[in-house]
Chain A
Amino acid sequence: MTVNPEVVEHLIEDSVDVDTSDDLGGREVGRARVRKEDYRLITGRTKWTDNIQLPGMLHLAMVRSPYAHARITSIDVSAAKTSSGVVAVLTGADVADEQGSLPTAWPIVPDQKAPPHPAIAVDHVAFAGEIVAVVAARSAAEARDAAELVDVDYEELPPVLDLKEAEKDTVLAHPDLGTNKSAFWQFDSAAAGTGGSVDEAIEAARRDGIVIEREYRQQRLIPAFMEPRSTVVDPTGEQFVMWSATQVPHILRLMLALTLGVPESKVRVIAPDVGGGFGGKLQVTPEEVITFLVARRVGKPCKWTETRSESLLSAHHGRDQWQRLTLAATKEGRVTALKVDLLADMGAYLGLVTPGVPILGAFMFNAIYKFPAYQFNCTNLFTNKTWTDAYRGAGRPEATYAIERLMDELAVEVGVDPLEIREMNWIKHEEFPFTSVCGLEYDSGNYEAATARAKELFGYDALRAEQKQRREAGDSVLLGIGVSTFTEMCGLAPSRVLGSLSYGAGGWETASIRMLPTGKVEVVTGTSPHGQGHETAWSQIVADRLGVPFEDVEVLHGDTQVSARGLDTYGSRSLVVGGEAVLLAADKVVEKAKPIAAHLLEANVDDVHFEKGHFRVKGTDHGISIGEVSLAVFSSHNLPDGVEPSLDADATFDPINFSFPHGTHLCAVEVDTETGKTSIRSYVSVDDIGNIVNPLIVEGQMHGGIVQGVAQALWEEAVYDDQGTLVSGSFVDYTLPTAADTISFVTDNTVSPSTTNTLGTKGVGEAGCIASTPAVVNAVVDAVRHLGIDDIRMPCTPERVWKAIQSAGAHAGEATEQAQEHFAPGEPNQDTTTAPATGDQS
């Protein structure tokens, strides 16, 4: 094939110089670009997995256990098999030899205990919602009709549902395992040589200082991505093609191969457009394995799409910890030690990274502070509930919540403003880089600057004055002000660190850049976006590095046949790790093009420099664009001797350190003491996420993250009844915030560039969700603290807040007796019926 260069020439932009008329100097990085992804999303042309229709495709429906803990005594599938349109009905026994055990990539200790995790239960179910059979039929409706006809006999076993009960090992989630304890993991600063002894510091503080002991509950949450999970598998004869609503197509491909013994090269996984994840789609699911197995068995394409109820019941949950905390400090409020004892609920099984989630938090309890001694003890426990795994922040929101709640308690003990106690303990900006008591090196940050900016935007002092005034005036609606100064570790992750934590993979990311003959650019990334806007942000990075128009860059992702290697998207890693790989690949393209450009320009390579898309001979206006070089490489008619005729380049980046975004979030709430209702009045966040590639995307990430964190503080909880049935199993009961529940936020940034990647970025995907939960709860407690309340368990529903106020009143003397009498049992009145006094759901 030959191409006339002149014909192609006109396709290349006349000039690749970009507009330099604004204060970005023509740079794309830093520009609030409207996203490339949007067009297909606003016109309904999005490629969701559930949209896929293939000739002869069958639809699957799962039969799930209604019991939290039971033995399967028999399954009768005869009626289902003869139902209209049914092609196959498979039970665990039918696939026992081929289904393997679902993978866990993170054995946090060598003796970690875990039950086998079959995709279809064979003889024992350990949570309500576990799959016991699958039906394949011509239509989704026929599959569901037939699933109703599968007759399963169960012998019920006692379930263990409560974490503290599980710790006692009296009722076992998996009797064959002999214990509910999966693992115990400890970090101790004295043993690690990174700090002193917590026990000594706590003893010293008991003698002459302050010791604060608290127990906090991290309730169970459900990620609740908007796109229900869906999987299509096409067994083409040559290979298995799987489309799945997943965050991790590359990991999924590898794990399918390892779990099912299929050659990795025979599996292609495609994550088409994916509708949100928040960690909830960072999983290798039973349903993906089952769809694969059924498609292989029947030799036909198969599709499974979940209902929302199935999703809430069986997609992994998040959080669920008890945190016992001991904070020691001097009388002045300088923290001398922090001891953390965690009970972490794994649920019934270990998912992909389930055991490691609390460990990700282990390094963040010390947060932005200089603690001389620190100890973290974590016990991972099994219960008969849906298994937990990563949910936005994964371990870090839990840690941040604990320490930011404690710092407020310390401020109260010392009698100073919560921001003052934080400043007394935080790392000063001139102390960076700073090695934390966990041994992590925080590369950059400026907590003073972010806090000062946040206070200014919030009107902190005026709000404090108003709070005082309203309290004194006896206002029944109280103002509360909440503070959260947080940091997180992002950019997962340096491979060596992951190795030292026994994680089963590295933390690098790859990118490829392919220069097309017309000067257009294809970027292949190993990250797998599901709402984050990588197509836009990566285009901005490449446009700057190659000096080509933003519009000329096309970003390809989410298909293992296109992007052969990658470690996907989670842990605020994509820009910090994957973006750096993109940048490095672009720089390699320039390096490859340079000698070719010099040859074409008949100049010495040392005299050629690259600027804004052009190779120029120093001291002349003689130049050639990178697009023209690309065309010359394509034709290869006139290349220097020994030069490979390609401008494509691959790069893989393995970070040398995590990144450490931080910020100060301030929240004002109004708590109605008569109804217990909390309303958010204002919310300010000032985040330092390093340099910003696209401010529009960053703001969006902050808004969404903040609301997810607020939702944990005020509204959301996955609730089980005492039989182990998920009560909050639909959107009627699992109360996602609506537009009417939320407010508009004030978001701003300070910038301390990260020193560990070229762009100086830190990551933003989880920041809002990590910071906002303690800010809100601190505000709620602050509103009612003068009534004698120092904690309200999340979510701070009107019922809980109201009960806390009543019970505080009950302990406060004369007024209290009246209140008790007023609300005494047996004297029903309007108030008691609107605010039921039943026990707390745990």
Chain B
Amino acid sequence: MTKISVKVDGALYSDDVEPRTLLVHYLRERLGKVGTVVGCDTSNCGACTVHVDGRSVKSCNMLAVQADGHEVTTIEGLATNGELHPMQKAFSECHALQCGYCTPGMIMQAIDLVSENPNASEAEIREGMEGNLCRCTGYHNIVKAVQQGAAATAQAASTTGGQS
């Protein structure tokens, strides 16, 4: 067992974990963060994507011990004071989800993509979302949602003086 301290969605957790524990299993099974899901076992699908220190990471591709001392944000920690993140809203408004299994990972990846490239073209969005698989939507509305979410995020940042 290895002792780790991780901040997840704003709360600090100190736990003993088996060194082989994947971050996604730690999040789901120890912390009850079941909004983050597992879709494959080869790091292809991206359903488990979270943010570690603000950057998107496939949490099946990282050990819990590697998160020691870092800050993790999951889909459950995105909304602030009950207000949804613009990307969450955009996914719903653009009907960018059907069964919704890939959605937490998609949203987390989309936020990272947009923070890196706020004016991403359709082609750049498609390339940037390539590591997240969806079987329902054909990606058409996901691309639309990322575009709308990017615009809304930029607008929110400008009205709050640069804070996104």
Interface of A toward B, CB cutoff 8 Å: 34-35, 37-46, 48, 50-51, 141, 224-228, 273-276, 278, 307-309, 530-533, 696-697, 699-701, 703-708, 730-732, 736-740, 742, 744-745, 768
Cβ-defined contact, B101 with A703, below 8 A: no
The 10 closest A-B pairs by CB, nearest first: A44-B35, A41-B100, A275-B101, A531-B99, A707-B138, A731-B44, A703-B138, A531-B98, A44-B75, A308-B40
Comparing B51-59, B61-69, B139-147, B151-159, the segment that makes contact with chain A is B139-147
A334 to chain B, nearest CB (A): 36
Cβ-defined contact, B45 with A46, below 8 A: no
Q: Which of A34, A46, A730 contacts B35 (CB 8 A)?
A: A46
Please name all residues of chain B whose beta carbon is closer than 8 Å to the beta carbon of A41 when the two chains form the complex.
Answer: 97, 100, 103
Q: Which of B20, B44, B137 contacts A703 (CB 8 A)?
A: B137
Please name all residues of chain B whose beta carbon is closer than 8 Å to the beta carbon of A51 when the two chains form the complex.
Answer: 28, 34
Given A699-B141, A739-B130, 10 other A-B residues pairs in contact with their CB atoms under 8 A: A42-B84, A48-B34, A51-B34, A275-B37, A700-B98, A738-B129, A739-B126, A744-B144, A745-B140, A768-B138
Q: Which of A226, A273, A700 contacts B102 (CB 8 A)?
A: A226
Interface of B toward A, CB cutoff 8 Å: 18, 20, 28, 33-42, 44-45, 47, 74-76, 78-79, 84, 88, 91-93, 95, 97-104, 107, 122, 125-127, 129-144
Cβ-defined contact, B84 with A43, below 8 A: yes
Q: Which of B37, B40, B79, B95 contacts A43 (CB 8 A)?
A: B79
Tell me the complex Cα distance, A78–B143, Å. Answer: 53
Tell me the complex Cα distance, A700–B135, Å. Answer: 11
The answer to whether residues A46 and B100 also contact, given A276-B135, A697-B95 and a CB cut-off of 8 A, is: yes
Q: Which of B18, B41, B136 contacts A704 (CB 8 A)?
A: B136
Tell me the complex Cα distance, A701–B136, Å. Answer: 8
Cβ-defined contact, B143 with A42, below 8 A: no
Please name all residues of chain A whose beta carbon is closer than 8 Å to the beta carbon of B141 when the two chains form the complex.
Answer: 699-700, 703
Cβ-defined contact, B95 with A696, below 8 A: yes
Tell me the complex Cα distance, A745–B84, Å. Answer: 29
Please name all residues of chain A whose beta carbon is closer than 8 Å to the beta carbon of B79 when the two chains form the complex.
Answer: 43
Cβ-defined contact, A227 with B45, below 8 A: no
Please name all residues of chain A whose beta carbon is closer than 8 Å to the beta carbon of B98 when the two chains form the complex.
Answer: 276, 531-533, 700-701, 704
Please name all residues of chain A whose beta carbon is closer than 8 Å to the beta carbon of B99 when the two chains form the complex.
Answer: 225-227, 273-276, 530-531
Tell me the complex Cα distance, A706–B122, Å. Answer: 19
Closest to A709 in B: B138
Closest to A48 in B: B37
B2 to chain A, nearest CB (A): 15
Tell me the complex Cα distance, A738–B14, Å. Answer: 37
Cβ-defined contact, B41 with A307, below 8 A: yes
Q: Which of A39, A48, A704 contacts B92 (CB 8 A)?
A: A39
Tell me the complex Cα distance, A429–B73, Å. Answer: 56
Cβ-defined contact, B75 with A43, below 8 A: yes
Q: Which of A45, A730, A742 contacts B138 (CB 8 A)?
A: A742
Cβ-defined contact, A275 with B138, below 8 A: no
Q: Which of A307, A531, A738 contacts B136 (CB 8 A)?
A: A531
B87 to chain A, nearest CB (A): 9
Cβ-defined contact, B100 with A228, below 8 A: no
Please name all residues of chain B whose beta carbon is closer than 8 Å to the beta carbon of A308 when the two chains form the complex.
Answer: 39-42, 45
Q: Which of A34, A37, A278, A744 contacts B93 (CB 8 A)?
A: A34
Interface centre among A38, A51, A274, A530 (most CB of B within 10 A): A38
Tell me the complex Cα distance, A424–B76, Å. Answer: 57
Please name all residues of chain A whose beta carbon is closer than 8 Å to the beta carbon of B138 when the two chains form the complex.
Answer: 703-708, 742, 745, 768
Closest to A742 in B: B139
Tell me the complex Cα distance, A312–B75, Å. Answer: 27
Tell me the complex Cα distance, A517–B115, Å. Answer: 49
Tell me the complex Cα distance, A284–B123, Å. Answer: 42
Tell me the complex Cα distance, A284–B95, Å. Answer: 31
Please name all residues of chain A whose beta carbon is closer than 8 Å to the beta carbon of B122 when the two chains form the complex.
Answer: 744
A474 to chain B, nearest CB (A): 28
Please name all residues of chain B whose beta carbon is closer than 8 Å to the beta carbon of A736 when the two chains form the complex.
Answer: 133, 135
Tell me the complex Cα distance, A213–B22, Å. Answer: 55
Closest to A227 in B: B101
Tell me the complex Cα distance, A308–B41, Å. Answer: 6
Cβ-defined contact, B140 with A42, below 8 A: no
Closest to B89 in A: A42
Tell me the complex Cα distance, A531–B125, Å. Answer: 24
Please name all residues of chain B whose beta carbon is closer than 8 Å to the beta carbon of A46 when the two chains form the complex.
Answer: 35, 100-101
Please name all residues of chain B whose beta carbon is closer than 8 Å to the beta carbon of A307 when the two chains form the complex.
Answer: 41
B51 to chain A, nearest CB (A): 13
Cβ-defined contact, A48 with B103, below 8 A: no
Closest to B101 in A: A275
Q: Which of A730, A738, A742, A768 contacts B40 (CB 8 A)?
A: A730
Cβ-defined contact, A744 with B91, below 8 A: no
A278 to chain B, nearest CB (A): 7
Q: Which of A37, A38, A226, A273 contacts B134 (CB 8 A)?
A: A226
Tell me the complex Cα distance, A738–B143, Å. Answer: 12
Please name all residues of chain A whose beta carbon is closer than 8 Å to the beta carbon of B34 when the two chains form the complex.
Answer: 44, 48, 50-51
Q: Which of A273, A278, A309 contacts B135 (CB 8 A)?
A: A278
Cβ-defined contact, B45 with A699, below 8 A: no
Please name all residues of chain A whose beta carbon is closer than 8 Å to the beta carbon of B75 when the two chains form the complex.
Answer: 42-44
Cβ-defined contact, A35 with B126, below 8 A: no
Q: Which of B39, B41, B143 contacts A739 (CB 8 A)?
A: B143
Please name all residues of chain B whose beta carbon is closer than 8 Å to the beta carbon of A707 when the two chains form the complex.
Answer: 138-139
Tell me the complex Cα distance, A275–B139, Å. Answer: 16
Tell me the complex Cα distance, A50–B42, Å. Answer: 19
Please name all residues of chain B whose beta carbon is closer than 8 Å to the beta carbon of A705 when the two chains form the complex.
Answer: 138
Subset of 23 A-B contacts with CB under 8 Å? A34-B93, A38-B91, A41-B97, A43-B79, A44-B33, A44-B34, A51-B28, A226-B133, A276-B98, A276-B135, A276-B136, A531-B99, A531-B100, A532-B98, A701-B98, A703-B139, A704-B136, A705-B138, A707-B139, A708-B138, A731-B40, A739-B126, A744-B143
Cβ-defined contact, B134 with A42, below 8 A: no
Tell me the complex Cα distance, A359–B116, Å. Answer: 52
Tell me the complex Cα distance, A744–B126, Å. Answer: 10
Interface centre among B28, B33, B45 (most CB of A within 10 A): B45
Cβ-defined contact, A42 with B101, below 8 A: no
A91 to chain B, nearest CB (A): 25
Please name all residues of chain B whose beta carbon is closer than 8 Å to the beta carbon of A706 when the two chains form the complex.
Answer: 138
Cβ-defined contact, A43 with B137, below 8 A: no
Please name all residues of chain A whose beta carbon is closer than 8 Å to the beta carbon of B42 when the two chains form the complex.
Answer: 308-309, 730-732
Closest to A309 in B: B41
Closest to A698 in B: B95
Please name all residues of chain B whose beta carbon is closer than 8 Å to the beta carbon of A44 when the two chains form the complex.
Answer: 33-36, 74-76, 104
Tell me the complex Cα distance, A309–B35, Å. Answer: 22
Please name all residues of chain A whose beta carbon is closer than 8 Å to the beta carbon of B135 when the two chains form the complex.
Answer: 224-226, 276, 278, 704, 708, 736
B139 to chain A, nearest CB (A): 4
Cβ-defined contact, B76 with A699, below 8 A: no
Closest to A697 in B: B95
Please name all residues of chain B whose beta carbon is closer than 8 Å to the beta carbon of A225 when the two chains form the complex.
Answer: 99, 101, 135
B42 to chain A, nearest CB (A): 5
Closest to A768 in B: B138
Closest to B34 in A: A51
Please name all residues of chain A whose beta carbon is closer than 8 Å to the beta carbon of B102 when the two chains form the complex.
Answer: 226
Tell me the complex Cα distance, A51–B125, Å. Answer: 31
Closest to A139 in B: B29
Tell me the complex Cα distance, A41–B93, Å. Answer: 13
Cβ-defined contact, B101 with A48, below 8 A: yes
Tell me the complex Cα distance, A367–B46, Å. Answer: 39
Cβ-defined contact, A43 with B136, below 8 A: no
